[in-house]
Amino acid sequence: MDPDGPDSLPFVIATADWKQDRAAIRSVREAVFIHERGMDRRAEWDGVDPVCIHLLAYTLEGQPLATARMTPDGVIGHIAVLHAWRGQGIGSALLQTLVDLAAAHGLERVFIDSRPEEREFFHRHGFLADPAADPGAPTLRMARHCTDPEDPACFDSSLSPARPA
């Protein structure tokens, strides 16, 4: 067995069903976004979850430790990793899994709205900022091709899904 291979990871990622896994998803997102970052509950629970693809990362013992979602039009968001589990590749694994799922569903591009402190993380994963966007904005729309993250022409703002109000 390869010591750096997927069998050595201290977590597993699975697709989640919003109705069935809602409590696990909520527990992670509330811990990260509401309690840790101080986000408004109404902003976090935007009503879009029932139509999203959700992922949950679990410990090998079955405890939820991270989650992420993607809307039907390819907007990835609500990536949350519990504090004690950060820095172990879980966010990267969730992000890549969603990009792969988007490609499997026929989407050419995926998008994410990133905060300034997150932009380098997403850039390392092939996301590019909208060149027409204000780099000083609190969130910046970023995009990447699902199959070719090196393609510099991935951002066409006319193809970008509308941002929530």
pLDDT in tens, 55-81: 999 999 999 999 999 999 999 999 999
* Residue of 42 and 66 predicted with greater confidence: 66
Pairing of strands 75-81, 53-59: unpaired
pLDDT in tens, 135-160: 778 888 899 988 766 665 555 555 55
Q: What integer pLDDT is reported at residue 51 of this predicted model?
A: 96
Q: Is the pLDDT of residue 5 over 60?
A: no
Q: What integer pLDDT is reported at residue 151 of this predicted model?
A: 60
Is residue 165, in this structure, part of any structural domain at all? no
| Domain count for the chain | 1
Q: What is the mean pLDDT of the chain?
A: 86
Looking at residue 116, the DSSP 8-state letter turns out to be G
Is residue 129, in this structure, part of any structural domain at all? yes
150 contacts 126 by C-beta, under 8 angstroms: yes
In angstroms, the CA 118 to CA 122 distance is 7
Is residue 2, in this structure, part of any structural domain at all? no
Tokens of 115: 């905060």
Q: Is the pLDDT of residue 162 over 60?
A: no
Q: Is the pLDDT of residue 49 over 60?
A: yes
Q: What integer pLDDT is reported at residue 164 of this predicted model?
A: 52
In angstroms, the CA 60 to CA 137 distance is 39
Contacts of 132-135 with C-beta under 8 Å, sequence gap 24+, read 132/157
Q: What integer pLDDT is reported at residue 3 of this predicted model?
A: 40
Write the CATH number for 142: 3.40.630.30
Domain of residue 74, residue span? 7-159
Pairing of strands 140-145, 128-129: antiparallel
